Amino acid sequence: MKLLYQTHSPYARKVLVAAHELDLAGSVQVIHYETSPTRQNAEVFALNPLGKVPVLLCDDGQVLFDSSVICDYLDSLHGRPLLIPADSKQRYRALQWQALAQGLAYAGIAVRWEAERRPESLRWPMMRDGQLQKVVAACDFLEREIGTYAAVDIGAIAIATTLSWIEFRDVYPFRTGRPHLSS
């Protein structure tokens, strides 16, 4: 399999961590592609009409995009415990945390665009602040709930990779005042 990947993408990183957790990393060739909302990458657009990574080129020729879809696919290829549990209570908690991580990443990306990527004259502070409130609320929720979440599943992987991106991009100091989330 080939994974079209961008080093700084929290979504691509989630797929790569999932592959490692499932002991499939050796079966995945990682190929770096630069993508940006402002610069089209023709090779990525040819495989994903949204022009985003990650994209997985499966051995059977199938092309999958979106990190959640790719992780679900990888989870079907092994004999280890599932990252997306079969038990309904565990399953929906894992999927909900994955959705929380996706939303947290979307909000973090919006904060970053409004704080530094967009030309200064076009920045919209109200949008930045509104998205930052979502980041803060998600971190507060996680601080309250993280102690009850012990599994290594798709939810935990998604939260961990998103928080590492939030920290890497200096979007928000989520560790401050949140000892459970920080650890």
pLDDT in tens, 17-49: 999 999 999 999 999 998 888 888 999 999 999
**Same domain (yes/no): 48, 129:** no
Domain that holds residue 117: 88-182
Tokens read off for 28: 């995945």
Domain membership flag for residue 80: no
Q: Are residues 96 and 71 in the same domain?
A: no
If one counts the domains in the chain, the total is 2
Least confident range of 54-68, 104-118, 137-151, 161-175: 137-151
Q: Which two tokens stand for residue 51?
A: 């022009």
Check pLDDT > 80 for residue 92: yes
3-state SS, residue 102: helix
**Cβ–Cβ under 8 Å, residues 39 and 49:** no
Tell me how far apart the terminal alpha carbons of the chain are, to the nearest angstrom: 34
pLDDT over 80 (residue 150) = no
Number of helices (H) and strands (E) in the chain: give both, helices first.
7, 4
Q: Write the CATH number for 109.
A: 1.20.1050.10
Residues 96 and 178 in one domain: yes
**28 and 56 inside one domain:** yes
Q: Which residues pair with 30 in a beta bridge?
A: 3
